[in-house]
Amino acid sequence: MSAAPSSVAPTAAPAPPDIPVIDAPSVPFVEIEALRAEQFIPAAKEALTSLLAEQAQGKLIRPVFNWAGRNSLFPLHWGLACCAIEFASMFSARHDAERFGVVPRSSPRQCDLMIVNGTVTWKVAHKLITLYEQMPEPKWVIAMGNCATGGGPFRTAYSVVPGVDKLVPVDVYIAGCPPRPEALLDGILTLEALIRERGE
Amino acid sequence: MPTEDLATRLRAAAPETTATVEPLPGTDGRLRFPPDQALAVFRACQGVLGYRHLSMVGGIDWVDHREVFYLVWSDETRRYLMLSSDLPLPAPHIESATAVWPSANYHERETWEMVGIGFDHHPDLRHLLMPDGYQFNPLLRSFKLHEPEELEVKVRHV
């Protein structure tokens, strides 16, 4: 091997004009094949953590994650009131929400979507917040039905939260008392379009 | 059991009580007692008179006073009996029935929360239907339907 270690010293890569260079991300792309095995891993690490890798992550990996995430929304499998019946029938054979990748999960740690299906009382409010905080980011909330949207017929009652958006941020509201499963499917597809639009 | 017999048997079992029995359709009667004789009346009803089961506890807001009532059930005669007591304002309170009928626990918690009647020597008097820190008695006649913003309570308690 005539290549001395000094010949593979990092040289400044020519930066494209539209990418700002911070502290000269010196990634030896050209000479990377000439590196020995013990030199390859530190160089690869440097490449992954460099600015170019971050931009590649933003332009290539994030859209893939967005596409995968919005087509596999996992809602939390819980029910608060009669809207839960419509929620359940959305997963039945006639409506078959699984063709959109919507699969209910029983643990909030496996979910990225919370469908608040029913009347939220003040007693259950902090349990709902706890469940929401246990869900990993990114996460979305659908307020299903009139009760979750604004309290519904119980809006002035002494025990009912007048709209779940007082507790957690809501992305999609679905009207109805209760909404039919088609309306819930439409809300989920609206949320998918919203996620695509936001690029989360 | 006729109401006269009931009054007589109650006097025999608890001579210090001044309870009166009046007829109430569908039941053995309505037994009214002063609140300071509550424990003696409860013990007599549960023991000698045989009303082993407490079916419900409730409260009424009569604006100038409040009333607490107990519906008890006898398995021997298969009849109900209503016990009721008038509690003066302010701070209406009565002795808890949990020492006699343990099932009074939840009913008295609900009555305390909704109608604002205190139960002395209750083992676990805290909110049942409402979150901790709720500051209203919703079934009082002075309670108005609020705008939702006025009713926000502190729901995040650590």
The per-residue pLDDT for range A56-97, each reduced to its tens digit, is 666 667 778 888 888 999 999 998 999 999 999 999 999 999
- Closest chain A residue by Cα to residue B137: A158
Taking the CA of residue A158 and the nearest CA in chain B, the distance in Å comes to: 7
| pLDDT digits (tens), chain B, 158 positions | 666 788 888 888 878 888 888 888 888 889 899 998 898 899 888 888 889 999 999 999 999 999 999 999 999 889 899 999 999 988 898 999 999 999 999 999 999 999 999 999 999 888 888 888 777 888 888 887 766 555 555 554 43
pLDDT surpasses 90 at A18: no
Option in B130, B131, B146 nearest A156 (CB): B146
Q: Are strands B30-32 and B79-88 parallel, antiparallel or unpaired?
A: parallel
* Average pLDDT of chain A, as a whole number: 80
Measure CA of the first residue to CA of the last residue in chain B; give whole Å.
Answer: 53
CA distance A181 to A122: 27
Option in B136, B145, B155 nearest A125 (CB): B155
Least reliable range by pLDDT among A13-27, A108-122, B29-43, B127-141: A13-27
Q: Which of B25, B9, B13 is nearest to B79 (CA)?
A: B25
Task: Determine the pLDDT at residue A34.
Answer: 57
Q: Do A61 and A139 lie in a common domain?
A: no
Q: Is residue A3 part of a domain?
A: no
Taking the CA of residue B131 and the nearest CA in chain A, the distance in Å comes to: 5
CA distance B19 to B2: 15
Q: Do A140 and A188 lie in a common domain?
A: yes
Q: Do A154 and A182 lie in a common domain?
A: yes
Q: Does domain B3-151 have CATH number 2.60.40.1220?
A: no
Taking the CA of residue B151 and the nearest CA in chain A, the distance in Å comes to: 7
Mutation target among B140, B151, B157 for the A interface, most CBs of A within 10 A: B151
Angle between helices A62-70 and A181-198 (to 10 degrees): 180
| pLDDT one-digit tens code per residue, A134-182 | 999 889 999 999 999 988 888 888 888 888 988 899 999 999 999 999 9
CA distance A186 to A193: 11
> The tokens 């893939």 sit on which residue?
A64
Q: Are A51 and A22 in contact (CB under 8 A)?
A: yes
Q: Do A26 and A57 lie in a common domain?
A: yes
Maximum distance among all alpha carbons in chain B?
A: 56
Which residues constitute the domain of residue A125?
A: 83-198
Domain edge (last residue) among A45, A70, A95 = A70
Q: Do A148 and A183 lie in a common domain?
A: yes
Q: What is the CATH number of the domain that holds A171?
A: 3.40.50.12280
Cβ within 8 Å, pair B129-A159: yes
Q: Do A110 and A168 lie in a common domain?
A: yes
Q: What is the length of chain B?
A: 158
Token reading at B42 = 């409860």
ipTM over 0.85: no
Task: Determine the pLDDT at residue B129.
Answer: 87
Q: Are B117 and B93 in contact (CB under 8 A)?
A: yes
pLDDT surpasses 50 at A113: yes
Q: Do A51 and A119 lie in a common domain?
A: no
Task: Determine the pLDDT at residue A90.
Answer: 93
| Number of domains comprising chain A | 2
Going by the DSSP 8-state scheme, the letter that residue B139 receives in this structure is: T
CA distance B33 to B17: 8
Within 8 A by CB and 6+ apart from A31, the residues are: A7, A8
Higher-confidence position of A40 and B77: B77
Q: Which of B78, B66, B71, B54 is nearest to B142 (CA)?
A: B66
Q: Are strands A172-174 and A140-144 parallel, antiparallel or unpaired?
A: parallel
